[in-house]
Amino acid sequence: MQMSEMIGFIGLGNLGLPVASNLLNAGYALRVYNRTASKAEPLVAEGAQQVNRPTDAVTTGGIVVTLLWDDAALESIVSSPGFLGQLGPDGIHISMSTVMPETAKKLAAMHAQHGSAYVEAPIFGRPEAAVAKKLWIPYAGSQQAKKRVQPLLKAMGGQGIFDFGEEVGAATLVKLLGNFLLTSASYSLREALTISEKNGVNPKAVVNMLTQTLFPAPIYQSIGNMIAEKKEVNQSEIPLKDVGLLKKTAQQVESPTPISSLLHDLLRTDLE
């Protein structure tokens, strides 16, 4: 690994910041861009070079990482003047945002036209997990590009990297499926523990048993404890967005969505 390789990093949100910081700590040089420029400050203090236009973060033949809020933000970066031309032949775009598989496929085709590679590598993990280097990353794209990208994903904090083949769209779909299942588990547990409480049965005791037996999975533990301890369950807009994307993806192939549709409605109501 060329430790001083210059990497472009676009999108310094809650997750982008710690992931970019992990790259700096692993010895990579970074050129960073964020729409709200002030967000880059902690990284600049750690030695990153801040640029004013997305395209300036791109090195011809190099690697650029994007980690953005949604399809529109990602498409606008890729379409920004000179982005694909600058990335040029042999450049690689590691796209880590959670978007529609069809968006990923469309962007992959646009990159191919310019001779560059689009590797999708969406991230499972909250910002704390990025700091702790405990991210799970499914990825897909050309074999050659994936090989070049893999050490970076590890340096970003990927404790587990899962190969979903060469066809872009698969890893993005897995991300949507995973977020749907997390939302389903979380809402089901909320429903269960509310029933428990209203029946005078201590939710803590219920969570304690279930997470030791049927559900030894982090989501049941964390949501269970939050509810049992009456902490506010974090009302992020991510589940609403991602369950919506999954529903849309499923409906395009006429796959039934009874549970994702219900969750989408519940999420919408909860955010109102």
CB of 166 to a second copy, least distance (A): 13
CB of 234 to a second copy, least distance (A): 17
Pick the binder of a second copy from 21, 66, 116, 257 (CB under 8 A).
Answer: 257
CB of 240 to a second copy, least distance (A): 15
134 is catalytic: no
Query: Which CA distances in Å does 34 have to 56, 195, 244, 247?
Result: 12, 44, 26, 30
- Kind of pairing, strands 6-10 and 158-163? unpaired
Pick the binder of a second copy from 4, 38, 214, 272 (CB under 8 A).
Answer: 214
H or E element that contains 10: strand 6-10
Instruction: Establish if 234 lies at the interface with a second copy (CB under 8 A).
Output: no
| # residues contacting a second copy (CB under 8 A) | 59
Of residues 118, 111, 116, the one with CA closest to residue 79: 111
Residue 124 gets which letter from DSSP? B
Instruction: Establish if 52 lies at the interface with a second copy (CB under 8 A).
Output: no
Query: Which CA distances in Å does 159 have to 33, 83, 132?
Result: 26, 30, 10
Question: For residue 162, what are the β-bridge partners?
Answer: 138
Q: Supply 151's token pair.
A: 């050490």
CA–CA dist 9, 44 (Å, integer): 12
Q: Which is nearer to a second copy, 79 or 212 (CB)?
A: 212
**AA identity, residue 9:** F
Contact 74, 97 (CB under 8 A): yes
**One symbol per residue from 97 to 136: x for binding a second copy (CB under 8 A), - otherwise; what is it?**
----x----------------------x-----------x
Report, as residue numbers or ranges, the catalytic residues.
Answer: 175
Give residues in contact with a second copy (CB under 8 A).
Answer: 101, 124, 136, 138, 160, 162, 164-165, 167, 169-170, 173-174, 177-178, 180-182, 184-185, 187-189, 191-192, 194-196, 198-201, 205-206, 208-210, 212-220, 246, 249-250, 253-260, 262, 266
